[in-house]
Structure 1
Amino acid sequence: MDSLASITQLIIDVSIQRVTIYIPQLCPFLYSTFETYAFIPNVYFIVYNYMRAAKSVIQVFLTVNRMTCVLAPLRYSRIWRKFIPFAIGIIALSPFLVIWNVIISDTFPASIFGGFTLAYTKRVRWASLSLFQMTLMIFSLIITIFTSSITLFKMRRLENRLKSSERTLCLASFYMSTAFLSAAVFQSYFAFFNIAAASTNLFYFLQGFAFDVLNVGSPIVMILISGQLRYHVIPVKQLAPKHSTVVSVSSVSRKG
């Protein structure tokens, strides 16, 4: 589900969101299309922000899942076999608590970087999408730090410490925490400050970059920590893993 949320955002970014902002030559055509088929911008704006909210919720369950694996390895499978339907329900429904005002409001184009992006009219004035997104991201950040700390503490107390796994966990937690924190900071600007200010364009650009880092976070972490995967992605000899272990399993049949 994390991959689905990230890929959906990236597809919308590449096909619509960034096109309308950074390729002004296409703006007249897209603008007229959005005016003629008003449901298109409404749907993609809702889906885009739904996936952003879902990303934060998914991160919470990923870190809790990892913590459970370390704290209760023998009961891990049984716990999550029962809990997964509940988790899927929360992931699917909780983003509506963030985007409900977007759903009932109308979207309109807002000029930025020589192109345009979509904004919404805020039918309920106090229900700010940026404020809700920021709150959810901060909650996800707190849970990530808390569960990762417990997981790391438990791993360090193992009789046979897995230092490489500890290092991997620290790297992954630091990366995702930084990504969520930066995205939340930029969301706070749009939640609390005047978006008509001259600095809005810069913050909008940086916010997009922060979400890009967040969306590609998992693959980047995997490439950084896995020498074999890194070598497959970038087949350069200097990046090849120094040591590789091959384990073979053979079956022995007994003659009766």
Structure 2
Amino acid sequence: MSTRLIIPANFSYDDPLPFTCNQDSHVMLSILEYLVQATYLSVSAVLNSMIVYTIFRCKGKHSYRRNPFFVLYAAEAVMNVYSCVIEVLFGRLIIYMTPLCPALSPFFFTPSILTKLYFLLNHYCLAFKTLSQIAISFNRMTCVIFPVHHFKLWQNILAPVLVSLFVLPLGVTWNILVSRVYVNPNGAGFSVNYRDAVAWANISFLHLFHCIPCLFLMIVFFLASIFGLTMLENRLRSAERSLIIFTMTLGVETMLFAIAQIYFAFLAGYLPGIRPLMLLISFNVFDVLYVYSPIALILMNRQLRRDIFHLKGDDPGFLSASSHNQPAARVMAPVMH
């Protein structure tokens, strides 16, 4: 029989919220599900770590750090590594390792700094990824629209953009800081949830506040990028086309996440029947991107692939729209193959 956590109408911040774990009739299946998710999340963490290491290790002619696209991707990759590691070690562990539920859950019936940090940083990373899609999409647009001035433009704006990426997600998480974070039954395990202290500033609404401008701007940047591609030389167009497709595919994640947040913020009470589907989308949409983004970037970028795995081969060249007409600044181009 399923157990629900019933939250009293009035309770203080420190009141315990106990519950009894549900019985799991398919323990081995739950453990297998955890192992599958832990495997692909671990692969994502390893690949993203290798990409970040390569970006900051290579110097001179092959310096990825001089290319703003790779710097922006590295910032997002760091967030991906954290998200994957914490999910493997805590988030998915408490959901799917059901024999742990009776032993671990009592430690979190009262407020815990661990669950508070986990929940807060989880939503911080989600907001960061949403905003980083704007920055990466804008970077690709300027690369094809302003190929001559792209490098100089990003020399001036890269630092402020990075600062904004790390500061603006706080606009999503501030309500969590003052709210009660608790654990509740999830299947035969348990997961982390919260009760907002400021009712109008629920987490779905705040995520949506970021997602809507993000979607609008990404559509504008995508259309402008497509137009810019038609203006490039064929040699440069083929390289930039692949990277723009890669960037727009990442943007699909933001669109699906926004749809889920629209539902939870405004429609959950009117359309309860599709709640399982929305939970599935919200829960798994980032998993797909965690795995897709590092694998796709490594497969599509020949030079990055060679540098990561120390493969031998001829220098594929480094010219692209981002370094076109910039002979003094040999910025390594995202040559995609």
TM norm. shorter chain > 0.5: yes
The corresponding residue for 2:217 is 143
CA distance in 1, matches of 2:238, 2:316: 19
Equivalent residues of 2:303, 2:316 under 8 A apart: no
Q: Distance in 2 between matches of 1:195 and 1:27?
A: 33
Which of the numbers 27, 30, 33 marks the counterpart of 2:107?
33
| TM-fit CA distance, 1:109 | 1.2
Q: How many pairs were matched up? A: 239
Is residue 2:62 matched to residue 1:5? no
Structure 1, unaligned runs of 5 or more: 234-243, 249-256
1:84 to 147, 150, 158: 158
Residue in structure 1 matched with residue 59 of structure 2 by the alignment: none
Contact 2:109–2:183 (CA<8 Å) still a contact in 1?
no
| Counterpart amino acid of residue 178 in structure 1 | V
C-alpha RMSD of the superposition: 3.0
Paired residues of 1:152 and 1:169 also in contact (CA < 8 A): no
What residue is the counterpart of 1:251 in the other structure?
none
Is 1:186 the counterpart of 2:260? The answer is yes
Q: Residue deviations 1:154-195, cap 9 Å, x none?
A: 121224364533541453244223221112222223222149
Query: d(CA) in 2 for partners of 1:207 and 1:60?
Result: 20
Quote the offset at 1:72 in angstroms. 2.6
Q: For 2:201, what is the secondary structure of its paired residue?
A: coil
* Cα distance, 1:28 vs structure 2: 2.3
Q: Kindly state the Cα deviation for residue 73 of structure 1 after the two structures are TM-superposed.
A: 3.0
**Residue equivalent to 1:96:** 170
The residue type paired with residue 114 of structure 1 is A
Matched with 1:52 is 126
Letter of the 1:218 partner, please give it: S
1:203 to 268, 273, 278: 278
SS of aligned partner of 1:126: helix
Kindly indicate whether structure 1 or structure 2 has the higher relative contact order, using CA contacts under 8 Å at least 6 residues apart: 2
Deviation at 1:53, TM superposition (A): 0.5
In structure 2, which of residues 243, 251, 256 is the aligned counterpart of residue 177 of structure 1? 251
Q: When the two structures are superposed, what TM-score results if normalisation uses the length of structure 2?
A: 0.62
Q: More displaced, 204-213 or 158-167?
A: 158-167
Q: Matched residues in 2 for 1:231 and 1:89: separation?
A: 31
Shift of 1:94: 0.6
Q: Does structure 2 conserve the Cα–Cα contact (< 8 Å) formed by 1:133 and 1:187?
A: yes
Alpha-carbon distance, 1:37 to partner:
7.2
Q: TM-score by structure 1 length? A: 0.80
Q: Which moved more, 1:122-131 or 1:9-18?
A: 9-18
Q: Which runs of 5+ in 2 are unaligned?
A: 1-74, 318-337
Q: Are 1:216 and 2:291 counterparts?
A: yes
Report the Cα offset of residue 245 of structure 1.
Answer: 5.9
Does the alignment pair 1:119 with 2:184?
Answer: no
User: CA deviation digits over 1:12-69, x for unaligned, max 9?
Assistant: 2211111222222112233133347711100111111111101111111111122222
For residue 61 of structure 1, the aligned residue among 123, 135, 159 is 135
**Counterpart secondary structure, 2:234:** coil
> Match for 2:289: what amino acid?
L
Q: Which residue number corresponds to residue 239 of structure 1?
A: none
| Alpha-carbon contact 1:145-1:177 (below 8 Å) kept | no
Aligned to 2:228: 154
Q: Report the identity percentage.
A: 29
